[in-house]
Chain A
Amino acid sequence: MISETPRPSRPGEGAVARLSCLALQPILSRIVRRIAKKHSSLFARLGPHQTTDFLIDPVELPFALHLRPDPQALVFRAVPRHAAPQAGAVIRGRFLLLLELVDAEEDGDAAFFSRDLEVSGDTEAVVRLRNALDDMEDSLAEETAGMFGPPGRAILARFRRAYLNTSTEEENP
Chain B
Amino acid sequence: MSLAELICPAGTPAALRTAVDAGADAVYCGFQDATNARNFPGLNFTPDELAASVSYAHAKRTKVLLALNTYPPAGKVDLWRQAADTGARLGVDAFIVADMGVADYIARTHPQVRLHLSVQAAASSPEAIRYYCESFGVKRVVLPRILTIPEIRQIRGEIPCEIETFIFGNHGLMVEGRCSLTNYLTGQSTNMDGVCSPASDVEYARHADGSMASQLAGFTIDQFGPDEKAGYPTICKGRYTAPNRPQGYYAFEEPVSLNLSRLLPELIEAGVHAFKIEGRQRSKSYVRGVVRAFRAAVDDIKAGREANIADLVALTEGQKQTQGAFETKKWR
Q: Are A137 and B14 in contact (CB under 8 A)?
A: yes
Interface residues on A, range: 20 to 34
Q: Are B204 and A123 interface neighbours, CB within 8 A?
A: yes
Asked if A107 contacts B315 (CB within 8 A), the reply is yes
For A132, the closest partner residue in chain B by CB is B42
Partner-contacting stretch, out of B112-120, B142-150, B279-287, B300-308: B279-287
Asked if A25 is at the interface (CB within 8 A of a chain B CB), the reply is no
Q: Does B205 sit within 8 A of A, measured CB to CB?
A: yes
Range of interface residues on B (Cβ < 8 Å): 35 or more
Contact B12 A134 (CB under 8 A): yes
Give Cα distance in the complex from A129 to B42, angstroms. 8
Q: Which of A8-16, A110-118, A157-165 contacts B (4 or more CB under 8 A)?
A: A110-118
**Cβ-closest chain A residue relative to B317:** A113
**CA distance in complex: A137, B17 (Å):** 9
Taken residue by residue from 87 to 128, chain A's Cβ proximity to chain B (1 for < 8 Å, 0 otherwise) reads as 000000000000001001111111011110011111110111
Return the contact of A110 from the options B18, B198, B288, B314 (Cβ within 8 A).
B314
A127 contacts B41, C-beta separation under 8 Å: yes
Q: How far is the CA of A46 from the CA of B42 in the complex (A)?
A: 6
Question: Are A115 and B283 interface neighbours, CB within 8 A?
Answer: no
Chain A residues near B224: list those with CB within 8 A.
115
B9 within 8 A of A: no
Interface string of B172-213 (1 = CB under 8 A from A): 000000000000000000000000001110111110000010
| A131 x B231 contact (CB < 8 A) | no
Contact between chains at A123 and B202 (CB < 8 Å)? yes
- A112: nearest chain-B partner, CB-CB: B230
Closest CB of chain A to B91's CB: distance in Å? 22
Q: Is the CB of B229 within 8 A of A134?
A: no
- How many CB-defined contacts (below 8 Å) exist between A and B? 101
User: Per-residue CB proximity of B19-42 to A under 8 Å, as 1/0?
Assistant: 000000000000000000000111
A55 to B289, CA, bound (A): 29
The distance in angstroms between the C-alpha atoms of A77 and B280, with both chains bound, is 32
The answer to whether the Cβ of A142 comes within 8 Å of any Cβ in the partner chain is: no
CB pair B14 A131 closer than 8 Å = no
Contact indicator A104/B284 (Cβ below 8 Å):
yes
**Given A115-B230, A134-B283, CB of A124 within 8 Å of CB of B206:** no
Contacts of A123 in B (CB 8 A): 199-200, 202-204
> Whole-angstrom distance between the alpha carbons of A128 and B317 in the complex?
20
Interface membership of B319, Cβ < 8 A: yes
Query: Closest residue of chain B to A129, judged by CB?
Result: B42
B204–A128 CB distance below 8 A: no
Cα(A14)–Cα(B147), bound, Å:
60
* Assembled-state Cα–Cα distance A130/B11 (Å): 12
**Among candidates A106, A112, A131, A136, residue contacting B41 with C-beta atoms closer than 8 Å:** A131
Question: Which residue, B229, B285, B318, has most C-beta atoms of chain A within 10 A?
Answer: B285
Cα separation A58 to B210 with both chains bound (whole Å): 17
B40 partner residues in chain A, CB cutoff 8 A: 127, 131
Q: In the complex, what distance in Å separates the CA atom of A121 from the CA atom of B202?
A: 9
Q: How many whole Å from B155's CB to the nearest CB in chain A?
A: 32
A110-B289 Cα distance, complex, nearest whole Å: 12
Is A109 in contact with B203, judged by CB distance below 8 angstroms?
no
Known contacts being A110-B314, A127-B41, is A135 close to B286, with CB within 8 Å? Answer: no
- The residue that A127 contacts in the complex, of B18, B42, B212, with Cβ under 8 A, is B42
Asked if B227 is an interface residue, CB under 8 A from chain A, the answer is: yes
- Give the chain A neighbours of B324 by CB distance below 8 A: none
Our pick among B13, B199, B282, B288 for the contact of A135 (Cβ within 8 Å) is B13
- Indicate whether B43 reaches chain A with its CB closer than 8 angstroms: yes
Q: Does B15 contact A (CB under 8 A)?
A: yes
Q: Are A115 and B212 in contact (CB under 8 A)?
A: yes
Distance from A148 Cβ to chain B, minimum over Cβ atoms (Å) = 25
Contact with A along B220-252 (1 / 0, CB 8 A): 000010011111100000000000000000000
Contact of B206 among A108, A118, A129 (CB under 8 A): A118
Give residues in B with beta carbon < 8 Å to A. Answer: 11-15, 17-18, 40-43, 198-200, 202-206, 212, 224, 227-232, 281-286, 288-289, 314-319
**9 A-B residue pairings within 8 Å (CB atoms):** A107-B289, A113-B319, A120-B204, A123-B204, A127-B41, A128-B41, A129-B42, A131-B43, A134-B14
Known contacts A118-B204, A131-B40, A134-B15; 9 further A-B pairs (Cβ under 8 A): A45-B42, A109-B315, A113-B319, A115-B212, A118-B206, A120-B204, A123-B199, A128-B41, A130-B283
Q: Which 10 A-B pairs have the closest CB atoms?
A: A131-B42, A128-B42, A135-B12, A104-B284, A124-B199, A45-B42, A123-B202, A107-B286, A124-B200, A107-B285
